[in-house]
């Protein structure tokens, strides 16, 4: 039981690391959101804006590899 919990935790950690990287469209969307916020309010909201979300969806639809992303290792099976 403990081994399977540790294995699941390790797999989730690897996936979360891979999910943190951004694709090119998401990065462009983030830059557009930041530029818009700076020009209208003079401040930057660190949350995900609409252009960044659209870029993320475009990256996912195209299946583009994100920079720094690694493939998760195969699941560990115990006898």
For 7, 11, 73, the CA distances from 4, given in Å and listed in that order, are 5, 10, 15
Q: What does the pLDDT profile of the chain (79 residues) look like in tens digits?
A: 656 555 655 555 544 444 557 889 999 999 999 999 999 999 888 888 999 999 999 999 988 655 545 555 566 777 6
pLDDT at position 17: 46
| Domain boundaries defined on the chain | 25-38+49-62
């Amino acid at each position: 039981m403990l081994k399977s919990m540790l294995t699941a935790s390790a797999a989730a950690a690897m996936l979360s690391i891979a999910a943190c990287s951004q694709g090119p469209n998401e990065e462009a969307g983030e830059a557009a959101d930041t530029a818009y916020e700076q020009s209208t309010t003079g401040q930057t909201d660190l949350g995900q804006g609409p252009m960044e979300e659209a870029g993320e969806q475009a990256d996912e639809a195209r299946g583009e590899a994100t920079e720094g992303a690694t493939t998760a290792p195969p699941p560990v099976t115990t006898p």
